[in-house]
Amino acid sequence: MKNNLVLLFFLGLACISAGNKPLLNYDTKDMVVVQGSTFLRGLDSAHLQNDIDRFNGSFALFSQEYPAIRMTVPPFYIDKNEVTNADFKKFIEANPRWSKSNIPDSLHDGNYLKDWNGDKYPKAKANYPVVYVCWYAARAYARWKGKRLPLDVERESAAKGLDKTYEFPWGNADADVSKANYILSNIGHAVATGSYPPNSLGLYDMCGNVFELCEDLWRVDDYKMRADWNKRTGLDRITSWNSPVDRKNVVIKGGSWNSPAVNLRTTYHESYPKTSCTAYVGFRCAATIITVNK
């Protein structure tokens, strides 16, 4: 995993060079370019205290987002929308080994595509985000499309949109039911993708509706250890070298239909088992921009 992330970092740097053009093996029609940037990821001391007060929480709730770390992220593509049931059905038809009846038991918790009837998704839910999918299947889908799952830091950058200081995809104003599908919406399930206004990059459902799987394995106290490493070396990295990896769990971001507002923030992330399949987690794809000389 670490080697893969390092490779993505250096491949991404190539696109910054002038006089190069993108080399793409994927369809970008329904994707958005997120320009490369350097920004503060996570919460600095002032934002930490503000969020503790704003959400009446404790430090423990925000500990995995603190302290803020300066990160440089190369440009990348990301899907405008979450992957839908209709999208995933095409994947299964082309790759039967990932169907409900064929997926190995070791890759899921027994709830894989629980809401499907065999290889048929729920009636009238073609454009709803696919849920009850495990991380392994999401990665397989992304590879089939010539893409990958987004990195945690990429997902945060994309959610913030054009202004990398935003606490929510729409800005810093409080969450309300006109902006996202979350617990106060009282809907009780995911809704069709694109049902709420996009962020400033034209990305839909960057918070609420369903949590989204990231490529990253979960790392406890990653921000603290990464900040300590950056302070010692004076370098910013897209991947961590020090914090211990939890190989059974991955990162999810964005909050869902059953999440409180505090989970909708762009900096929020939590751990999630690789094999879990639930009604509140889906995914979207990203892609590295690789360039070649003209």
Whichever domain contains 174, its CATH number is 3.90.1580.10
Q: Print the domain residue range for 270.
A: 2-293
DSSP letters spanning 35-58? --EEEEES--HHHHHHHHHHTT--
Q: Which pLDDT score, from 0 to 100, does residue 137 have?
A: 98
Tokens of 134: 């495990």
Q: Which pLDDT score, from 0 to 100, does residue 222 have?
A: 85
Torsion angle of the four alpha carbons 266, 60, 261, 46, in this order, in degrees rounded to the nearest 10: -60
Q: Give a three-class secondary structure readout of 199-267.
A: CCCCCCCCCCCCEEEEEEEEECCHHHHHHHHHHHHCCCCCCCCCCCEEEEEEEEECCCCCCCHHHHCCC
Residue ranges of the chain whose pLDDT lies below 50: 1-21, 240
Spatial distance between the Cα atoms of 95 and 132, rounded to a whole number of angstroms = 18
Q: Residue 52 phi/psi, 5° resolution? A: -60, -45
Domain count, the chain: 1
Q: Which pLDDT score, from 0 to 100, does residue 5 have?
A: 43
- pTM value is 0.88
